[in-house]
Amino acid sequence: MNEKIPDYDQLWKAVITELFEEFLLFFAPDLYEQVNFETPPQFLEQELLMIIPDSDSNKRVADKLIKLLLKSGEEQWVYVHIEVQGNNDPIFPKRMFQSFYRIMDLYDQRIYALALFTDNVPISKLEKYQYEFHGTKLTYIYNTYHIASQSETALLQSNNPFALAILAGLYLIKSKKRNGTAFQYKLKLMRLLLEGNIISKGEKRKYIQKLLIFIDHIIRLPEDEDVFLLTQLKPLIEREDIRMGLSFDDTSIAKYFKNLGIEEERRALALKMLEDGLDLSLIAKYTGLSLEEIQRLQK
């Protein structure tokens, strides 16, 4: 069983980096239209380390700071805070404001700020920072996006590939509420990735590698369920139109499904050895499966 807890911070950070143009179009279409993408975005990881104090580093491990060039020739900075924790942190708005004024103070740049809430946490008090002391008042309002409150129907109707990442986050939240649903959600996501309408046929090869790893890691399944997932996807994978469009021979998709296929073959061998009455420890030795896995197969 996959017992290791996924690093959700890094998963979101990676998919935003890989699909940044699609990310910006999804969250800020007006800003997206002003950006000159002929000049690649600059991801300011080192600058972000300077801005965020060491005491906050664990909370900001997934934050992103990106410098863009607008069609007007001006610079535009984008700050993204990814909040994966499910707790209602009362000082969160203050931390958002601190990031804003530090970036502005050090670099004197305009900032588009977004807080992306990836867990099921109420955000009614986390959408702005307010300060008042003896007549001195300050209100800082930033963009927020709460995955748990999004419409599954609307995401399925989107033609932006980043909607699949958001949908995966939504399904993760739903699977935590209802035990036993993770397999069906992951299977649905994989089918949407391979043949769904969110990604057009001509773009599948471009996006599938970037989204496959994200989907696979954000919804983790026991190994035996992952192998069963492959058996459900096989008819789809072997379809000529999908196989030709994805070029399995030269993408990481082939490696992913090959690894699952190896697991399937090991279990098939173990079942045959069980039928022949071989000792469980011997089966474990020759298949590489754990005794626990073989006992499950035996049942």
- Give per-residue pLDDT as tens, 54-68: 545 455 557 899 999
One domain, residues 135 and 204? yes
Same domain, 119 and 249: no
Q: Are residues 160 and 269 in the same domain?
A: no
- C-beta of residue 99 within 8 angstroms of C-beta of residue 79: yes
Q: How far is CA 15 from the centre of its chain?
A: 6
Residue whose entry in the numeric block shows the structure tokens 């649903």: 181
* In a shared domain, residues 205 and 72: yes
Q: Residue 2 falls within a domain, yes or no? A: no
Q: Is 136 helix (H, G, I), strand (E, B) or coil?
A: strand
Q: Is residue 243 part of a domain?
A: yes
Report which of residues 166 and 242 the model is more confident about.
Answer: 166
Range of the domain at 270: 234-298
Stated as kind and residue range, the H or E segment containing 221 is: none
Residues 212 and 261 in one domain: no
How does strand 143-146 pair with strand 111-117? parallel
Q: What is the Cα–Cα distance from 161 to 159, expressed in whole angstroms?
A: 6
The whole-number average pLDDT for the span 153-170 is: 95
* 199/24 Cα distance (integer angstroms): 17
| Residues 207 and 254 both lie in one domain | no
Q: What percent of the chain has pLDDT over 90?
A: 40
> Over 70: is that where the pLDDT of 169 sits?
yes
Q: Are residues 256 and 140 in the same domain?
A: no
In the predicted structure, residue 36 carries a pLDDT above the cut 70 = yes
227 occurs within a structural domain: no
Report the helix count and the strand count for the chain, using DSSP H and E: 14, 7
Q: What percent of the chain has pLDDT over 70?
A: 82
Q: Which two tokens stand for residue 106?
A: 């050090």
45 vs 113: CA distance, rounded Å: 16
pLDDT of 79 above 70: yes
More confident residue, 52 or 213: 213
Instruction: Evaluate whether residue 291 is within a structural domain.
Output: yes
Closest CA to 230 of 250, 210, 251, 212: 212
Count of structural domains within the chain: 2
Domain for residue 278, yes or no?
Answer: yes
Q: Does the structure show a pLDDT above 50 at 49?
A: yes
Record the tokens describing residue 19, joined without a space: 């699909």
Q: Do 199 and 145 lie in a common domain?
A: yes
Rounded mean pLDDT of the chain? 82
In a domain, 190, yes or no: no
218 and 92 assigned to the same domain: yes
Q: What is the tens place of the pLDDT at every residue in 2-20?
A: 456 678 888 899 999 999 9
Position with higher pLDDT, 273 vs 78: 78
211 and 260 share a domain?
A: no
* pLDDT value for 265: 67
pLDDT of 246: 56
**Which whole number is the average pLDDT over 41-60?**
71
Query: Do 20 and 164 lie in a common domain?
Result: yes
- The residue-averaged pLDDT of 246-256 equals 51
Question: Is 265 a member of any domain?
Answer: yes
Q: Is residue 89 part of a domain?
A: yes
Whether residues 214 and 246 share a domain: the answer is: no
